[in-house]
Amino acid sequence: MKNMMEVKDLTFTYSGASEPSLKAISLPVEKNKVTALIGPSGCGKSTLLRGMNRIHDLYPGHRYEGAINLLNADEKAYTNILDIKKEAELIRLRQRVGMIFQKPTPFPMTIFENIAYGLRLSGVKKRTELQEVVEQSLRDAALWEEAKDRLSHDARGLSGGQQQRLCIARAIALKPEVILFDEPTSALDPISTLAIEEMISVLREQYSICIVTHNMQQAARISDYTGFMYLGEMIEFDQTDTIFMKPSQKQTEDYISGRFG
Amino acid sequence: MRLIMNRVFIVFSTFAALVGLIFLGWILFTLFSKGLQGLSFDVFTKDLIEGGLRNVIVGQIMMSGIATLIGIPVGILAGIYLQEYGANSRSTEFLRDLSDVMMSAPSIVVGTFVYAIIVVPTGHTSGWAGVLALFILMVPIIVRTTDDMLNLVPIELREAGIAIGASKYHVTMNIVVRYAKAGILTGILLAFARVVGETAPLIYTSGSSEFWSTDLTGTFPSLTVSIYNLATMPDDQMVQLGWTGAFLLTTMVLIINLLGRYASNKKRSK
Ligand SMILES: Nc1ncnc2c1ncn2[C@@H]1O[C@H](COP(=O)(O)OP(=O)(O)OP(=O)(O)O)[C@@H](O)[C@H]1O
Ligand SMILES: [Mg+2]
């Protein structure tokens, strides 16, 4: 199978930091698969993920070295997203590589507008088309039944779990190729967590997914590949079964068995 | 020892609060009883020259209103610049400090400044000069509240906006400002309440007039300046009119402040 994204020897240094937070990291994100990132707090999982849609660029002064390749639409060649300079192209990149954050982030608008907003910015104008996509995205995010009667209500009135599903609906409305999840369930109750895990295993038929999680069972349950990071390095990357059953690195084994981290 | 200090402190602060409340109650009581005596329909339908307050009320509201209408975009844009685009650079900090200093500048100083740059060169007081003085007084308040309110917007919300492909401009205008809307509105109301009761910046700038006028290029009627003038007149009826004006002004400011409170409470309970 093809890789949708390939991080190659990425070294990343925050503005003003003396040490890089990522050291020569490589990570493939295979098409239509779920890739999980695990590792103790502060090892650089979020930093890596936030490089993959260049959200770091919101703040000046950081430094990237290496490459992050994204498969072109023709599926023949890759483009290094670190070469992108123009804001318009960065915007295009973020439409292709969506992101879900740890805390739900509903915009201060109605449920409908939360989803329609990104679509409008991407050029969709027709009301009927907006309505169609909003409905489809809410269905895909398993929120339609709960939300269909309150589309014109403020999205901040939803529960935390519903808000997170709204954020997912908002991301998939743009038909991205990759979705990045940064601990999407760590602020949610077990039932909402389960709903989102189920959704991710459905979403993977259409999207390529990379997810950061602190929950080892979650990684084991939903991912095809897992990367274990420690102190800014990729210690081990393999099929999830291998990582959890017979890891080749001592550190990975220690972490998975709960001996540190 | 700790306990005694605690007791003493409570007694003192209760006493201080009581003194404050007594004076406040006294002022309000006097104002209401004296002000209400003179309240009649004529106050609102006749101009000052005929013993009413119509022209000065309208003048006051016009000047404060126009200053607010110009002050809102200027203050909000400046606040947005400081918080969203200034990136905590040296010049941003300087602008922030400057605006804080301006906020505590005595209003008579602002009045004198406008007198020097507008009234002296043009040779006469005018409504526009009054508007300018009020504008200078209120913009720092709007800048400050906008800046503070935007600072409360979670950083994650900005990132989420960027992550769905919105530009910085769109994130700022459609998400960040909308999130802080209620707080900014409160700031505007408080700024308006602050200037609508000002006398000092108007005395030398707009002057005061006994006649109906909506022409801001000339001397302009003003409620606060007229209250000041009426209070010192020998004629009892004139003094009574001053009380009525003071009563109306207080009521107006009180209502605006309550509205501001209400708006900010509504925001917090969300
Ligand atoms: N804005 C920043 N400026 C400087 N250093 C930062 C910044 N953000 C994170 N770091 C540092 O980069 C390293 C990696 O942080 P990162 O947030 O990627 O860790 P993480 O693996 O996501 O941790 P967690 O599991 O707690 O979310 C940490 O040492 C952190 O202190
Ligand atoms: Mg993290």
Instruction: Return the number of CB contacts < 8 Å for A and B.
Output: 67
Range B177-193 average pLDDT: 91
Q: What is the pLDDT of residues B159-180, one digit of tens each?
A: 999 999 999 999 999 999 999 9
All residues at 6 or more sequence positions from A79 whose CB lies less than 8 Å from its CB, including other chains: A69, A70, A72
Q: Do the Cβ atoms of A5 and A71 come closer than 8 Å? A: yes
Q: What residues contact residue A244 under an 8 Å CB cut-off, 6+ apart?
A: A216, A219, A220, A226, A256
Dist CA B166 CA B268 (whole Å): 27
Q: What is the DSSP letter of A143?
A: -
Beta A208-212 vs A34-38: how paired, if at all? parallel
Looking at this protein, which amino acid is placed at residue B207? G
Kind and range of the H or E element at B12?
helix B2-37
Instruction: State the DSSP code for A181.
Output: E
Confidence of residue B2 (pLDDT cuts 50, 70, 90): confident
Flag whether residue A107 sits within 8 Å of chain B, measured between CB atoms. Answer: yes
Q: How confident is the model at residue B46 (pLDDT cuts 50, 70, 90)?
A: confident
Ligand 1 atom at minimum distance from A39 CA: 21
Interface predicted TM-score (ipTM) of this complex, two decimals: 0.91
**Mutation for testing the B interface, residue in A96, A107, A110, A121 having most B CBs under 10 Å:** A107
Give phi and psi for B197, each to the nearest 5: -100, 10
- A121 and B CB contact within 8 Å: yes
Using pLDDT thresholds of 50, 70 and 90, give the confidence band for residue B194.
confident
Q: Per-residue pLDDT averaged across B94-100, rounded?
A: 90
Q: Does residue B149 lie in a domain region?
A: yes
The H or E element spanning position A210 is strand A208-212
Which residue among A15, A21, A38 is best mutated to probe the pocket of ligand 1, counting the most ligand atoms within 8 A of its Cβ? A21
Nearest Cα neighbor of B118 from B94, B96, B106, B134 is: B134
Instruction: Please check whether residue B199 lies inside any domain of the structure.
Output: yes
CATH code for the domain in which residue B203 is found = 1.10.3720.10
State how many domains chain B has.
1
**Residue A45, ligand 1, Cβ within 6 A:** yes
**Which ligand 1 atom lies nearest to the CA of residue A102?**
27
Domain assignment of residue B62, yes or no: yes
Cα–Cα–Cα angle for B73, B74, B75, rounded to 5 degrees:
95
A36 SS3 class: strand
In a domain, B37, yes or no: no
Q: What is the mean pLDDT of residues B145-161?
A: 94
Question: What pLDDT sits at residue B270?
Answer: 46
Asked if B160 and A118 come within 8 Å (Cβ–Cβ), the reply is no
pLDDT digits (tens, 9 = 90+) for A84-122: 889 899 999 999 999 999 999 999 999 999 999 999 999
| Chain B CA closest to residue A170 | B164
Q: Block means of pLDDT (10 residues each) for chain A, length 261 residues? A: 90 92 94 94 94 92 92 88 90 94 94 95 91 94 91 92 94 94 91 90 92 92 94 94 91 85 52
Element at A252 (helix H, strand E): helix A250-256
B58 part of a folded domain: yes
- Provide the 8-state DSSP code for A154: B
Tell me if B31 is assigned to some domain.
no
Domain span including residue B129? 43-269
DSSP letters along B185-225, please? HHHHHHHHHHHHT--HHHHTTT---SS----TTS----HHH
H or E segment and range at residue A198: helix A190-203
- Here the tokens at position B197 are 């009761």
In a domain, B239, yes or no: yes
* Three-state SS at A70: strand
In a domain, B111, yes or no: yes
